[in-house]
Amino acid sequence: MRTLPEILDTPSADLTDEEIALLAPEDQRFVRAWRDRKAKEDACVASGGHERIATLDTQRGWHEGHCAKCGKNMNYDSGD
């Protein structure tokens, strides 16, 4: 197992459950929430991809939206 300084320098995706348990409580919540969100997005992509739903119907500029399956933020700026 890695030392705490090594754990702090390791990407969240590469941490084991035992290493996450060594982190501060707020860091544990962050890593677990990130993993849950990432797993949901990966499952969405595996099931045929994101399905964008627009929250504002605009022709130009900023387009707000999210994925209907996993909730991923899919906002974009059309650049005009």
Residue where the block lists tokens 């939206």: 65
CB 72 within 8 A of CB 45: no
Cα 37 → chain centroid: 5
Task: Give the pLDDT of residue 25.
Answer: 95
Task: Give the pLDDT of residue 60.
Answer: 79
The neighbour count for residue 15, using CB atoms within 10 Å, is 19
1 confidence band (pLDDT: 50, 70, 90): confident
pLDDT digits (tens, 9 = 90+) for 16-55: 999 999 999 999 999 999 999 889 888 988 889 899 988 8
Would you mind telling me the total number of residues written for the chain in this entry? 80
Task: Give the pLDDT of residue 56.
Answer: 73
CA distances from 22 to 2, 14, 19, 51, 73 (A): 10, 14, 5, 37, 31
Task: Give the pLDDT of residue 78.
Answer: 84
